[in-house]
Amino acid sequence: MSDTWESAAFKQRVDDILGPFLAAEAEHLLEIDDVLEPVAEQLQRAAVHGKRLRAAFCYWGWRAAGQPDNDALMRAAASMELVHAAAVVHDDLIDDSPLRHNRPTVHVALQAPLTGRPRARAAARCLAMLVGDHLMALAGQLFVTSGLPAAYLARARPLWAALARELIAGECLEILSTGTSPDTDLSLKVIRYKTAKYTVEQPLLIGGLLAGADSHLRAGLSAYGLPLGEAFQLRDDLLGLFGEPERTGKAGLDDIRNNRPTALLAAAWQAALPAQRDHLTGVLGRRDLDEGQLARVRELLVTLKAPEQIEEMIDTRVREAIRVLNGLDLPAHARRALSDLAHSATDRRH
């Protein structure tokens, strides 16, 4: 790979690692019993999509420390995408989301082979939970068998433990705060631990640690990565409610039906008058909402200027990340790549 950031070429390199790796794992499952075929299929499909941003941040954390392109590092970086795949399967299961990338989510797809069985829906959800668990285990397996020296891997092992802990903590925080009154500070804490850290900051730091980055560079990568990860999820929350389902691949009503603690809903709640809060109270958490009601919620949020506030929060965080980046002593190609990634990760409106 050249020193120029080429997203399509990088994505293909990650796909060329994950495809055979998961295909081999699917074969191992089928060697146990053919009845596992639907599970093996979902295991492979779960990691097919995405821009491979998490792998990219890990890769450029390595390059930021002055290390050259390395195939073993690419395998370690690709493991970040299996962490993401596991998180997505669990998140969709928790939220009971029907769609992801315009396809049935894992727990929905696994109902088909169970048609006619007692408690088929519950059984499918259990299978999906196990698929997510297995993907997380496979992420660790791919990482430790990447081909990097054991001493390199040992430097990053404590952060792997923190990544898993904080990802789970963020998901638990969201579950425990779902259905409560919208709160901006709580929403931002959920964003930070559920998504921001494992999307940008921790992959960057893992790449840096593998490369032997010193404490000053690691602090700089963290200061760049954390606000950028928050901006990424804030953009995702905006797209979840205002994006076109054909483009986002998700159901637009999910956040409203589940009364998720998003910063967007918290901004609207904070700005709302009593009558407007009454309206929000009447729709948040309702499972029977239709597209007409979604349109009215969108109109209310626009009236309250909640999307504008979130856009400002995104812009503030991206500017902070770029400011930190420009102050770091990095190879020119790493600086360019991390700048491009900052915009690619957070400007997904087109």
Of 188-192, 312-316, 329-333, 346-350, least confident by mean pLDDT is: 346-350
- Whether residue 295 has pLDDT greater than 90: no
Residue 99's pLDDT band, with cuts at 50, 70 and 90, is confident
* pLDDT at site 326: 95
> What average pLDDT does the chain have?
91
Give the residue numbers spanning the domain of 302.
7-346
CATH code of residue 221: 1.10.600.10
Asked whether residue 49 is domain-assigned, the answer is yes
Q: How many domains does the chain have?
A: 1
Give the pTM. Answer: 0.93
> What are the tokens at 345?
């990760």
Asked whether residue 2 is domain-assigned, the answer is no
Residue 56's pLDDT band, with cuts at 50, 70 and 90, is very high
- Whether residue 350 has pLDDT greater than 50: no
Of 19-23, 125-129, 268-272, least confident by mean pLDDT is: 268-272
* pLDDT at site 248: 61
- Whether residue 50 has pLDDT greater than 50: yes
* pLDDT at site 246: 63
* pLDDT at site 218: 97
- Whether residue 243 has pLDDT greater than 90: no
- Whether residue 1 has pLDDT greater than 60: no
Asked whether residue 322 is domain-assigned, the answer is yes
Asked whether residue 338 is domain-assigned, the answer is yes
- Whether residue 244 has pLDDT greater than 90: no
Asked whether residue 1 is domain-assigned, the answer is no
Asked whether residue 301 is domain-assigned, the answer is yes
* pLDDT at site 212: 96
Give per-residue pLDDT as tens, 139-169.
999 999 999 999 999 999 999 999 999 999 9
Residue 19's pLDDT band, with cuts at 50, 70 and 90, is very high
Mean pLDDT over 101-128 rounds to 93
Asked whether residue 307 is domain-assigned, the answer is yes
Mean pLDDT over 113-130 rounds to 94
